Structure 1
Amino acid sequence: MQLAEVFTRIVGNDPPVGFRAYDGSAIPAGPDAPVLDVRDQTALNYLASARRFELGLARAYITGAVDVAGDLYELMKKLWMLEVQLPKLELVKLWSALGGLKLLKRPPIPAREAHLSGRSHSKSRDADAISHHYDVGNDFYELFLGDSMAYTCAVYESHDTTLEQAQWAKHDLVARKLDLKPGMRLLDVGCGWGGMVRHAAKHYGVKALGVTLSKEQAEWAQKAIVDQGLQDLAEVKFLDYRDVPDDEYDVISSIGLTEHIGRENLASYFSSLYSKLKVGGRLLNHCITKPDSKGPAIARGGFIERYIFPDGALSGPGPLMTHMHDAGFEVQHAENLREHYALTLAAWEANLERNWDDAVKLVGLETARTWRLYLVGCRLGFEHNGIQLHQMLGVKLGDQLLPAMPLRPTWTS
C-alpha cells in the first residue's frame, strides 16, 4: 500500500492539503495549499515507536524525515480542523500493510529532547528544566522576540499594534494593576530578560528586583539594566524565587513562572509570594492556563513536555484562584488574554521565519525546527481555546482589612 492511500484513508478522500512521499505516491495540492512531504522511511518508524502520535510526528518533523512545502501554520490549521475517526481495526490493517513490527525500530532521538533527573521540582531539577528551555542562547531569542526580549503574552490594542507596542502595553498594564509609585519595591519572580523590571524602574521610579533560574537571562538582563542607566533602581539576580527574603516588597509580579512550578506546588508557591509581601501589597500573577480543570496538567511524554517545557504544568483559572485565596490573598480582578497570546505567537513566528537562516546558523536546524513547531502549535492552541492566559490580581489585606484597592479599577482607561 502506498503512503498517499494511507493518508486519504486517515484524513478523507479530499484532503485540504497536498501530500507526497518517498515511495513516489502523491496527492496534488490545491492553489497555494501547503504540502505534507514524507521524505524518509524513518518518519514511519518515529510514528510507530513513539508512545504518543504527536510526539512521533514531532520527532519526524524536527529531524526532517517529515517536511512541509509551504506554510507550516496553514498546514497544521487545516489538519487541526479535520475530525479523524478511524476504527481500531482499520488502523491495524494499515499498520500491517506498512510493515507491521518492522515499524517499531526507533530511529535516533533528536538531541534536543530533555532528560531530567532528580526529585520533581527540587531546586536543582527546576534549574535544569529552566536552563533546558531558556539557555538556548540570547542571540537566538533576540531573533524572534524582538527588541523587548519579552517572552510572555503581549497586550494588543488592535490588530495593527506592533509586537513592541504590545509588549510595552503588557508591562504597563501590569504596572498599573499593581499601582506602581516611585519608591516602591517590586519583586518580579521568573523575570526572564528583565523587561518588567526595567519598565517599572524607567517609567515608575520603582526599585525593582528580578530573579530567574536562567543564568543566561540574568547576565543579559543585568547588562541591559546598566546599558539603560537603570542600575540604581533595577537589578536581576540568578536566584530561585524561594530564596528571596520575606516581608520586604510592596508589590510582586509573576509573569510566566507559574507554569514551571508544578500543580502540586501551587499552594506553597502562592504562600511563598504572600510571605514576601508587605500588608496592603498586591500580586499580579500572569500565566498560561487550561480552559477547564479536567484531565492532566500537561500531556506527559508529549512534544511540549519533552522538548519545550520539561516538568511544566497548567491549571485551570478556578484552582489558581482558589490557591491564591487559600494563601491569604483576596483576588480582586481576573482577565483572560487568550486572543492576545495567539497574536503574540504569530508575531514571534513571523520574526523567526524572517530570520530563519540566522537562527539555523546559531542553534542548528533541528533546534530551529523545534521552535518553529512549538510556536505554530501553541498559536493554534490559543486560537482554538485549547489553552488560555490569565492575569489575576490579588491583595494581601492583613488583619486590619486595609482599603488596599479602589472601588473601581484604575487601569482600564
Structure 2
Amino acid sequence: MTAHQGQGIAGTINALFEGGLPIGLQAYDGSVSGNPDSEYALELLTPRGLAYILTAPGDLGLARAYVSGDLELHGTHPGDPYPLLSLILDKTDFRAPKPAELLEIVRTLGVKNFRPPAPPPQEHLPAWRHAVEGLRHASLNALTWGRHSRERDADAIHHHYDVSNTFYEYVLGPSMTYTCALFPTEDATLEEAQYAKYDLICQKLGLKPGQRLLDLGCGWGGMVRHAAKHYGVKALGVTLSREQASWAQEEIKRQGLDDLAEVRFSDYRNVAETGFEAVSSIGLTEHIGVANYPSYFGFIESRLKPQGRLLNHCITRPDNTSRASAGKFIDRYVFPDGELIGSGTIVSAVEDAGLEVQHHENIRVHYAKTLTGWNKNLVDHWDACVAEVGLGTAKVWGLYMAGSRLGFERNNIQLHHVLATKTVTGDSGYPLRHTF
C-alpha cells in the first residue's frame, strides 16, 4: 500500500509534494493531510480546484485554484499571505510519481480531474496564445505580436498597470511609486523611503537646474515630479499605460510643475528628442527582454549628450545563467513577458552600447521592506481594494507581493542600480569620487 492510499483527496495530493506539505491540507471530501500541528492550512473546496492543481502542478495550479476561489488559505490574511508562503515557498512542485503510482492516483482522483479547466479571468494569455491570436487577425502581420513587439508590450503593460489608479493609490500610498524604495533608516516610513530613492537617483545623475531628464517607463511620474520640483530640471517621462499618463499629468498640473515636467502616453521608442543630460530607467528593463538589451541601451546612448548619465534601476537574478523567465505565476498574472537576468548581463549590455559604467550597487533588502509596506497597505484597505478591482485580482496582488518579498529576503532575486556615462574621447564628466 502506498503512502496516500486510503487518505482521500488530501492524502493523495499531499503525497505528490516532495516530503509532504509543511502545513495542513483539507479537501472537500472531508480528508485531512499535511502537517496537523501547523497554524496554517490550505483548504481545497471544489473539484475544479483539484483539476487546477493536477493539470498545472506547482505554483501556477495552486494560484489558479486560489484566485478562482476553489482553494482557501487559513491562518493568514489574503492581502498578506507571507507567513503561510514562507513555509511552502520552493516546496510547491510535485515529485515525479512512479508509473504504477500514477495509475493509482488517476484511479483515486478520477480521470476527469486531469482535464484542465479554463483559467481564471485574471490570467494573461501565455506566449503561444499570443502567436495564435496574431495569426487569427488577418489585418495584422503575425510578426507584430512577437515577444516584445510594440503591440505586445503595450498589451502586457495594459494588463498590469491599467487595473485602477484608485487601487494603486490604496496599495502604493501617496507617492504612487511602484518601484523599490530606499530606506535611510530601519524605521523610515514607505513615503520617506520613496522620497530617498528618488533623491538618490537624482544625486547619482548629478542633476542641476536647467538640465533635461528623460525618464523611461515613468509610471505615475514620481521621478519626473521629484526631479523637476527639487532639482529644477526639465523632465520628460514616457509610459505605455494610458491610466498612468493621465494620472501623472493631472498631478503635475496640481503641483504647478507644468513648465518643467511632462508625462506622455507613448512607447519609449517613439521619443524623438535627443541631447538629454540624464536618462533614468526605473523598473523598465524587466519588461524589455534580454534579447533587446542592445537596442534598448543603444537607444539610451543615442539620446544622451556627451558626458550625459544613465541610471538603470532593475530587478535582477543573483546569477547570469538562470533562465530569464520570471516564472509561470508572475508571467501569467503579474508581469506578462517579464524577464530577469543577472546584473552582470546588464552591465555588459550597457558597456557594449558604448557607455562607461561608473557605479553598480545592490539594494535587494530594500525591496523586501518596500513589499512589506505594500502588503500592509493592501491589508489596511482590503475591503476598498476588493470593491475596486474584485476579490480575485486583490488576491493576486497579495500573493504576488508576499511571494516577491520572500524572493528578495532569500536572495532569489535582487535589485541593482547601474550608473553609467556617455564618455567621449575619454571625457566622462564624472568627478574623481562619487558625490552621493
Identify the TM-score tier after normalising by the shorter chain. Answer: over 0.9
Q: Indicate the larger mover: 227-236 or 116-125.
A: 116-125
Tell me the TM-score normalized by structure 2: 0.89
2:422 maps to which residue?
396
2:113 maps to which residue?
103
- Note if 1:220 corresponds to 2:247: yes
Aligned-partner Cα distance in 1 for 2:92–2:289: 32
Aligned-partner Cα distance in 1 for 2:231–2:165: 27
Aligned-partner Cα distance in 1 for 2:280–2:187: 28
- Note if 1:408 corresponds to 2:433: yes
- Relative to structure 1, the CA distance from residue 408 to residue 368 in structure 2 (aligned partners, 3 Å threshold; closer, same or farther) is same
Q: 1:40 aligns with which of 41, 46, 58?
A: 46
Aligned-partner Cα distance in 1 for 2:360–2:11: 49
1:104-127 alpha-carbon deviations (Å, 9 max, x no partner): 222231112212441221212211
The residue correspondences of 1:216-255 to structure 2 (distance < 5 A) are 216-255=243-282
Aligned-partner Cα distance in 1 for 2:240–2:306: 27
Aligned-partner Cα distance in 2 for 1:295–1:285: 21
Q: Which runs of 5+ in 1 are unaligned?
A: none
The alpha-carbon deviation at position 79 of structure 1 amounts to 1.4
The alpha-carbon deviation at position 85 of structure 1 amounts to 8.1
1:347 maps to which residue?
373
Aligned-partner Cα distance in 2 for 1:186–1:247: 10
1:49 maps to which residue?
55
1:181-223 alpha-carbon deviations (Å, 9 max, x no partner): 1111000000000000000011111110100010000000000
Q: Indicate the larger mover: 77-86 or 197-206.
A: 77-86
Q: Indicate the larger mover: 213-222 or 115-124.
A: 115-124
Aligned-partner Cα distance in 2 for 1:82–1:48: 15
Q: Indicate the larger mover: 307-316 or 207-216.
A: 307-316
1:70 maps to which residue?
75
- Relative to structure 1, the CA distance from residue 6 to residue 311 in structure 2 (aligned partners, 3 Å threshold; closer, same or farther) is same
Letter of the aligned partner of 2:409 in structure 1? E
Aligned-partner Cα distance in 1 for 2:104–2:86: 25
The alpha-carbon deviation at position 161 of structure 1 amounts to 1.2
Identity %: 50
CA contact under 8 A between 2:59 and 2:93: conserved in structure 1?
no
- Note if 1:319 corresponds to 2:345: yes
- Note if 1:363 corresponds to 2:393: no
Aligned-partner Cα distance in 1 for 2:85–2:394: 18
The alpha-carbon deviation at position 246 of structure 1 amounts to 4.6
Aligned-partner Cα distance in 1 for 2:422–2:298: 11
1:9-31 alpha-carbon deviations (Å, 9 max, x no partner): 35588854233221112357547
- Relative to structure 1, the CA distance from residue 258 to residue 81 in structure 2 (aligned partners, 3 Å threshold; closer, same or farther) is closer
CA contact under 8 A between 1:246 and 1:275: conserved in structure 2?
no
- What is the Cα-based RMSD across aligned positions, in Å? 2.0
CA contact under 8 A between 1:45 and 1:103: conserved in structure 2?
yes
- Note if 1:385 corresponds to 2:411: yes
Aligned-partner Cα distance in 2 for 1:129–1:307: 10
1:110-161 alpha-carbon deviations (Å, 9 max, x no partner): 1122124412212122111111110001001111100000000001123311
Q: How many residues align?
A: 407
